[in-house]
Amino acid sequence: MDLDFWWLLAVPVAFAFGWMASRYDLKALLSESANLPRSYFRGLNFLLNEQPDQAIDAFIEVVKLDPETIELHFALGNLFRRRGETDRAIRIHQNLLSRADLPVNERDHALFELGQDFLKAGLLDRAEEALRRLDAGEYARDAQRALLTIYEIEKDWVKAIDAAHRLETMGADPLGKEISQFYCELAQEALQRQDAAEAAIQLDLALQANPGNVRATILRGDVAQTRGDHGAAIDAWRRVETQNPSYLPLVAEKLMKAYAALSRPQEGAALLRGYVEQYGSSDLLDVAYPHVAQLCGAEAAHALARAQMQAAPNLAGMTRLLDAQIESADEPRRGELELMRTLIKQRTKNLPRYTCQNCGFRARLFYWQCPGCSGWETYAPRRIEPIASQA
């Protein structure tokens, strides 16, 4: 009984202490709030009501009344930057940096925000200068990531590789995929200069960074083709099947040209025919169909198109099936089929698109880096007919 009595006594005592603590916190909060200008609360209210212009005016008034409000300076600078008023954001952050009494961490914060301002304004050299000063501290990793973005925009792939490696040493997630693509970009530049030896070196480094990089394998075939070694080019491009067969449409035409250069076009047509039958790709069918029709006969091409349509019906495949039917049709049926083909081609001329799986950006060409979100290897290597456009 005594124990129960003490427990009953402890409950109101604990409640009393809690009530006293809450009263103290409330008084402290009211005291702090009383020291804030009314313009501060007006600005918060405007922000909550999604009125950024009025919020900025209110916060500017607060800053004038109390220049020591560092956090409010940062908030105001970010608001200006988001609105695209980068010149005003730059002035705010430069004013902060000019203060001799600014703590080290706040100085790093202001320097990072200034770098973001310059980056948003397109002043890449000044952004790089500001961000490179943050080689240590709380903002070092974010600054390095922003530098990586700058180097990608400038297509300075050597600096991008160095920045990516530094990010990894700072504890960022592995960037092997991106580093491998940077080496591929260097290889592509070397190929444009007709420097096959340098391209081969860069591709070796690309595959060291990411052994599964399909682009590096494709480029290895391009290097061999540049050197006139068509057999090695074929070997490289055929390895794409073992890496990721969905990328085969990117090398299908290359394979046919290499086989033709070796006077073995029938072998190439048979290979592409097998790819279409095994993987059922309308993009592969587009490349394979004319070669199969020319080298294996109209009946074989017709059978290939019909099988593809039965497996995965789509408007692009229907065009190829009509091509095959027109070849064997008599008048007046040939005219009817040609009219159908013309209408479908008009309908599908702008439909199939490569689509970024990250941001949804659609493009007629295949990109290894998305023009919309700048992500690497975010495009599926197949064209998609949008459902909404087909309705």
* Total domains, the chain: 3
Rg (CA), the chain: 32
CA atoms within 13 A on the CB side of 18: 6
As a whole number of angstroms, the distance between CA 292 and CA 5 comes to 95
- Domain presence at residue 247: yes
For residue 11, what pLDDT band results from cuts at 50, 70 and 90? very low
Please indicate, yes or no, whether residues 367 and 334 belong to a single structural domain of this protein: no
- Domain presence at residue 13: no
- Domain presence at residue 80: no
Lowest mean pLDDT among 37-46, 162-171, 249-258, 289-298: 37-46
For residue 298, what pLDDT band results from cuts at 50, 70 and 90? confident
For residue 60, what pLDDT band results from cuts at 50, 70 and 90? low
Please indicate, yes or no, whether residues 365 and 327 belong to a single structural domain of this protein: no
**Which residues, including other chains, have CB under 8 Å from residue 118's CB and lie 6 or more apart?**
86, 90, 124, 126, 127, 130
Residue 251: name the closest of 292, 196, 288, 300 by CA.
Answer: 288
As a whole number of angstroms, the distance between CA 202 and CA 180 comes to 9
Is residue 296 a known part of a binding site?
Answer: no
Lowest mean pLDDT among 25-29, 59-63, 98-102, 126-130: 25-29
- Domain presence at residue 296: yes
Is residue 184 a known part of a binding site?
Answer: no
- Domain presence at residue 120: no
Residue 225: name the closest of 240, 242, 237, 239 by CA.
Answer: 237
Please indicate, yes or no, whether residues 187 and 227 belong to a single structural domain of this protein: yes
- Domain presence at residue 245: yes
Please indicate, yes or no, whether residues 320 and 371 belong to a single structural domain of this protein: no
**Which of 259, 275, 310 marks a domain boundary?**
259
**Which of 259, 282, 301 marks a domain boundary?**
259
**Which residues, including other chains, have CB under 8 Å from residue 29's CB and lie 6 or more apart?**
none
Residue 221: name the closest of 181, 183, 258 by CA.
Answer: 258
**Which residues, including other chains, have CB under 8 Å from residue 56's CB and lie 6 or more apart?**
43, 76, 79, 80, 83
As a whole number of angstroms, the distance between CA 386 and CA 374 comes to 22
- 314-347: buried (b, 16+ CB within 10 Å) or exposed (e) per residue? bbbbbbbbbbbbbeeeeeeeeeebeeebeebeee
As a whole number of angstroms, the distance between CA 39 and CA 42 comes to 5
In this predicted structure, the answer to whether residue 311 has a pLDDT above a threshold of 90 is no
CA dihedral of 375, 379, 384, 388, whole degrees rounded to 10: -10
Please indicate, yes or no, whether residues 236 and 269 belong to a single structural domain of this protein: no
Tens digits of residue pLDDT in 80-120: 788 788 888 888 788 777 777 778 888 888 888 889 988 98
Strands (E), the chain: 354-355, 362-363
Lowest mean pLDDT among 64-68, 198-202, 253-257: 64-68
Give the position of tokens 């290097």. Answer: 223
In this predicted structure, the answer to whether residue 335 has a pLDDT above a threshold of 70 is no
**Strand 354-355 vs strand 362-363: parallel, antiparallel, or unpaired?**
antiparallel
For residue 318, what pLDDT band results from cuts at 50, 70 and 90? low
As a whole number, mean pLDDT of residues 229-242 equals: 94
Lowest mean pLDDT among 52-61, 119-128, 321-330: 52-61
Lowest mean pLDDT among 26-35, 158-167, 255-264: 26-35
Helices (H), strands (E): how many in the chain? Answer: 21, 2
Please indicate, yes or no, whether residues 336 and 355 belong to a single structural domain of this protein: no
The CA-atom distances, in angstroms, between 294 and each of 212, 270, 289, 290, 297 are 35, 12, 9, 6, 6
Residue 23: alpha-carbon gap to chain centroid: 52
Where is pLDDT greater, at 22 or 194? 194
- Domain presence at residue 55: no
CA dihedral of 126, 131, 134, 139, whole degrees rounded to 10: 140
As a whole number, mean pLDDT of residues 148-153 equals: 94
In this predicted structure, the answer to whether residue 3 has a pLDDT above a threshold of 50 is no
Please indicate, yes or no, whether residues 273 and 218 belong to a single structural domain of this protein: no
Lowest mean pLDDT among 97-101, 179-183, 211-215, 226-230: 97-101
For position 196, which CATH number holds? 1.25.40.10
Please indicate, yes or no, whether residues 309 and 356 belong to a single structural domain of this protein: no
As a whole number of angstroms, the distance between CA 285 and CA 303 comes to 12
- Domain presence at residue 37: no
Please indicate, yes or no, whether residues 254 and 277 belong to a single structural domain of this protein: no
Please indicate, yes or no, whether residues 338 and 381 belong to a single structural domain of this protein: no
Please indicate, yes or no, whether residues 358 and 333 belong to a single structural domain of this protein: no
Please indicate, yes or no, whether residues 268 and 345 belong to a single structural domain of this protein: yes
Where is pLDDT greater, at 63 or 298? 298
**Which of 333, 349, 365 marks a domain boundary?**
349
**pLDDT of 330:** 65
Range of 390's domain? 351-391
In this predicted structure, the answer to whether residue 349 has a pLDDT above a threshold of 80 is no
